[in-house]
Amino acid sequence: MSMRWRSHVLHDSLVMASFARASLERISVVVTLCAWILCSAPALAQTPKHQSLAEWVTQLGSKDHRPRQEAYRELMREPSPRIIPLLGEQIESFAASSQTMACNLLRRLPFAQTRDLYKRLLDAKDPYLRAASAARCWQEAGSKVADRKRPLRVLLGALAECPDGRKMSMVHATSQVVDEAVFVELRKWLQPKKATHIVTGVLRELLRRERGVSVATSTAVKLLLASEEPRVLGAAHAYLLREDEAHEKQLAELSRKEPAVFWTVRDLLPTDGKHSDAIVSVIVAALLGPRSDRDVNQLAQMLKKHSAAPLGKALRELIGHDKDDIRTAALKQLSTLNGGLQAGDLKELLRSSAVIARLIAADTMRRRDDKSGLEIVLAAVPDAKKHKAEAARVLGRFRSRQAMPVLLDLLDDADEQARVAAWQGVQETMRSLFPYRNFAFDKAGYEPRASSRAAGIQVMRAWWGGAK
């Protein structure tokens, strides 16, 4: 281990100590911690499950879904620059799904380290690899027009020859490219006989990249009105209703005849402004037949811009749903409505054996400035199990001194989502309680997804011990 690295670690630790305004005794704790880091570094640097990076990269190219996903998860934990040459050797031989994962990994690394590989892949045989590489080179070129010319030319060529089976992967890989020439190519995919997922996916991307409706895209979309596929036709109406409200009535009629239409086009509906009663009735009908908690949350947000009455009624019906995740989502959404949960509802939730019900009740009490909800959350944490992340989120919202010890403990919880939520809660709480004693979170050395977390947690515990 180099002396340079040792000095950097010691420097960062001392910087943290200065932020803590700690006593000499607490500074010694930090120094001791540095020694632990130096001694433990070789062990912490080991590849997960003691498998080499080369083996993980090879496994990433597996034809089988499960080992491929396992390799992807492990490599995404802490992407290492050492995978660049390994991917460079194999990426062109990977199947489509493995190529997509490999490109996602490369995007997590600094462009300065991946530039040479990207430039080489501009000449790859596979159009997806060319497009993904061209998009990254285009993005990194910034305002340098000359540096954007070749990537843009390569990207346009790749889009033109992209097979239907990889079109949406191509769209996602090039999501940061905002250029009219690219939009022209994407509009060519808006055809009445194209697969529904291509049409709707392209429309979503064009709405985002063009920041709304454009004349050119609108003209292309009107051709879709000739489609015999209800979902493609619905997508056209959903896009065009931004220009003409008459399309709402037509979309509502389609959705009532064919419920799949609404589920397909919901993401295309305008999010700013109120919908007609016809569309609201369609959304309510969809809300009463949800397939997941995501459906409940999304549709509830759409309805909140309208009268709360139909939303509250629908959510109350869902509280009795046979799926736990849907019941939970309905309760959460109901708790955010004015008058959604009455005093009697809260009492019932607090008596519930379900941890999530008590957490929702406590969070509702918090919003109503009832601090007694904090004790309920603290008591629920040991039993939270699969709801540990929600418990951490609710705790963080209280921004309380009493919650901090539990949040600090949750920073090392086995549940990654709980660690992420606790990390957010710790930051919000410390900033709220000590607005004039800035803690350098970016230098704390803690990352909830990293395998080595102990050092960062100890630094924060030391600071909190002095600050409280």
Model confidence band, residue 138 (pLDDT cutoffs 50, 70, 90): very high
What's the mean pLDDT in 152-173? 95
pLDDT at residue 50, as a whole number: 52
Tell which wins on pLDDT, 310 or 422.
Answer: 422
428 shares a domain with 347:
yes
Tell which wins on pLDDT, 319 or 67.
Answer: 67
Region of 341 please: left (phi>0), alpha (psi -120 to 50) or beta.
beta
Proportion of the chain above pLDDT 70, given as a percent: 88
Does the residue 23 lie in any domain?
Answer: no
For residue 41, pLDDT beyond 80: no
pLDDT at residue 20, as a whole number: 40
Torsion from C-alpha of 288, 291, 296, 300, nearest 10 degrees: -60
User: How confident is the prediction for the chain on average, in pLDDT?
Assistant: 86
Domain boundary (314, 340, 366) is at: 340
pLDDT at residue 104, as a whole number: 94
pLDDT at residue 191, as a whole number: 94
Does the residue 295 lie in any domain?
Answer: yes
SS (H, E, C) 272-315: CCCCCHHHHHHHHHHHCCCCCHHHHHHHHHHHCCCCHHHHHHHH
320 shares a domain with 300:
yes
Model confidence band, residue 395 (pLDDT cutoffs 50, 70, 90): very high
Domain boundary (295, 315, 340) is at: 340
406 shares a domain with 363:
yes
CB atoms under 10 Å from CB of 96, counted, come to 13
pLDDT at residue 307, as a whole number: 67
Residue 108, classed as helix, strand or coil, is coil
Model confidence band, residue 10 (pLDDT cutoffs 50, 70, 90): very low
- Structural domain count of the chain: 2
Model confidence band, residue 322 (pLDDT cutoffs 50, 70, 90): confident
Query: Averaging pLDDT over each range in 178-187, 280-289, 309-318, 455-464, which range is the top one?
Result: 178-187
Does the residue 356 lie in any domain?
Answer: yes
310: containing domain:
271-340
pLDDT at residue 5, as a whole number: 38
For residue 123, pLDDT beyond 80: yes
Q: How do residues 249-299 score in pLDDT, each as one tens digit?
A: 999 999 999 989 999 998 898 876 677 888 888 989 999 888 899 999 999
What's the mean pLDDT in 71-80? 89
Does the residue 464 lie in any domain?
Answer: no
Written as six digits, the tokens of 51 are 């498998």
Residue with tokens 């390569």, as numbered in its chain = 154
Does the residue 379 lie in any domain?
Answer: yes
375 shares a domain with 356:
yes
Cβ proximity of 131 and 158 under 8 Å: yes
What's the mean pLDDT in 84-96? 95
What's the mean pLDDT in 107-124? 95
Cβ proximity of 181 and 156 under 8 Å: yes
Cβ proximity of 460 and 427 under 8 Å: no
pLDDT at residue 163, as a whole number: 93
- Give, in order, the Cα–Cα distances in Å from 91 to each of 67, 86, 164: 17, 8, 21
Does the residue 418 lie in any domain?
Answer: yes
For residue 306, pLDDT beyond 80: no
353 shares a domain with 318:
no
Does the residue 278 lie in any domain?
Answer: yes
Written as six digits, the tokens of 34 are 């540095």
Rounded CA-CA distance 13/327 in Å is 46
**Whose CA is closest to 338, among 364, 371, 314?**
364
CB atoms under 10 Å from CB of 456, counted, come to 22
Does the residue 328 lie in any domain?
Answer: yes
